[in-house]
Structure 1
Amino acid sequence: MTTAVPLAVRPALLLGVPNRITLIRTVIAMVIATYAFRTGDLTWLVLGYFSYWFGDSLDGWVARRRKEESLSGAVFDIVCDRACSFLLAAAFMATYPETIGPLAIYLVQFGVLDTMLSFAFLLWPWVLSPNYFHKVDRPIYLWNWSKPAKAMNTGAVVISLLVGAQTGAHWLPYSVAIAACVVKVVSSYRLVEILCGRRPAVPGEPR
Structure 2
Amino acid sequence: MSEPADRKTNRQEEIIEAAVKLFSDNGFHNTAVQTLADAVGLNKATLYYHIHSKEELLYRIHRAIIDDFLADLDAICAQPNLTPTDRLHRAIQAHIRHVAERQAEVKIFFRERDSIGEEMRVRIAERRRRYQDLLVGIIEEGMAAGEFRDVDAKVVASFIVGMSNWLYQWYEPGGRLTADEIAKAASKFALAGLRATDG
TM-score, structure 2 as length reference: 0.41
Structure possessing the higher relative contact order (Cα contacts under 8 Å, 6 or more residues apart): 2
Could you say which structure has the larger radius of gyration? 2
TM-score, structure 1 as length reference: 0.40
